[in-house]
Amino acid sequence: MKILRTPDDRFDHIADYPFSAHYTTIQTHDGSDLRIHHIDEGPDDGSADAPIVLCMHGQPVWSYLYRKMIPYLTAAGMRVIAPDLVGYGKSDKPATREDYSYERQVEWMGAWLETNDFTGITFFGQDWGGLIGLRLVVNHDDRFDRVVISNTGLPHNPNVPAAVVDQIEHFRANKPTPSLAQMQKALGGMQEGEHPATKFAYWQKFCWENEDMPIGFMMSMMMEQRSNLTRAAKFVLHSIGVKSPFPTPLAHAYDAPFPDPSYKMGPRAMPSQVPTLPTSPSLEEQRKAWEFFESYKKPFLCAFADNDPVTAGMQTEFQERVPGTKNLPHTTIKDGGHFVQEFAPDQVSKVIIDLIRTT
């Protein structure tokens, strides 16, 4: 397996990320060494028995996303473990599309978890962090005490009509690459009218077919408030080929893991691995995962945002099917957007802290 490693100096001037690096080396299926990075931050009093909160990020971000939550959690006496998924942040980056299957991500992070021997874990996952982390809970149940999820899912869709499957597969194979504006419009309308998978296909196609996916620019435009004039100017400059117009410290942080397009295979490939269709990989593994959670009685709390069109309503399935969700204070994160860690770190941290203290 060809594996790329981002040079350390790419992270030398990341704003608001003062955390020490910790590395774990695991073995891949072909015997290659794969290095995975994580943050390990504890309470100010250095308590050795602090409750562990495992925070997992999604696509296309990295553990930098948790920089605002970590101070809240550690101040409350929690130990925060925040890994970078393989292909992201300071972790190694396999170089081919086939390396980034859902099952390999679960396998890699499971090996990382076992090697570090973390136990008594409260899991928090959002976006792909939920998809992968929930599978870790299934495979390593004895290591987890409770679960909190936000803006994520455990997709298993065996009954999507054949006509919808054909429509999506034709779109992904034959239609032009959607522009950034077209992709954003489609995601914004995921809960309206058509099957959500037809909208999500715009994100899958946009990511895969943009070899130099504009990650820093997208995250800046999504996460940072700007005047309409500034936003319009940035979009115009980007549309004429300026990769990252007027980059902010946040844009720099999200571009840092990727010295050139060859490092971006993970963020490009993984959306296509989301099992949205009956023809998707991992369908049987997802079925088994839901079978596990349908008898899961440990505390399982949902804290979804009130304004995320991508995952709106997904918490309902968990609350209906997972016994551990009963009689818990499921929380709506106000104005959290898709990345609640960025927009509402205080609200999300409080949900986690309160659950640990009351269960």
Q: Tell whether the model's pLDDT for residue 248 goes beyond 80.
A: yes
> Which pLDDT belongs to residue 311?
94
pLDDT mean over 184-196: 83
> Which pLDDT belongs to residue 54?
98
Residue 189 — very low, low, confident or very high, per pLDDT cuts 50/70/90? confident
> Which pLDDT belongs to residue 128?
97
Structure tokens at 254: 């999200």
Q: Angle at CA 27, nearest 5°, toward 26 and 33? A: 80
> Which pLDDT belongs to residue 16?
96
- Is 315 within 8 Å of 87 (Cβ atoms)? no
Sign of the alpha-carbon torsion through 245, 248, 254, 255: positive
What are the residue boundaries of the structural domains of the chain, listed by start?
A: 3-157+281-358, 162-273
pLDDT digits (tens, 9 = 90+) for 63-80: 999 999 999 999 999 999
Fold of 3-157+281-358: Rossmann fold (3.40.50)
- C-alpha dihedral over 71, 75, 76, 78, to 10 degrees? 70
Q: Tell whether the model's pLDDT for residue 191 goes beyond 80.
A: no
> Which pLDDT belongs to residue 307?
95
> Which pLDDT belongs to residue 139?
98
Q: Tell whether the model's pLDDT for residue 42 goes beyond 90.
A: yes
Q: Which residues are catalytic?
A: 127, 308, 338
> Which pLDDT belongs to residue 169?
95
126 or 235: which leads in pLDDT? 126
> Which pLDDT belongs to residue 116?
98
Residue 44 — very low, low, confident or very high, per pLDDT cuts 50/70/90? confident
- CA 16 from chain centre, in angstroms, equals 20
Residue 106 neighbours by CB distance under 10 Å:
21
pLDDT mean over 201-219: 95
Q: Tell whether the model's pLDDT for residue 58 goes beyond 90.
A: yes
Q: Are strands 52-56 and 331-333 parallel, antiparallel or unpaired?
A: unpaired
pLDDT mean over 100-108: 97
> Which pLDDT belongs to residue 161?
94
Q: What is the pTM of this model?
A: 0.95
Q: What is the DSSP letter of 263?
A: G
> Which pLDDT belongs to residue 75?
96
pLDDT mean over 187-210: 89
Residue 236 — very low, low, confident or very high, per pLDDT cuts 50/70/90? confident
Q: Tell whether the model's pLDDT for residue 233 goes beyond 90.
A: no
Site of tokens 């803006």: 151
Task: Go through the chain and tell me how many residues it has.
Answer: 359
Q: Tell whether the model's pLDDT for residue 133 goes beyond 80.
A: yes
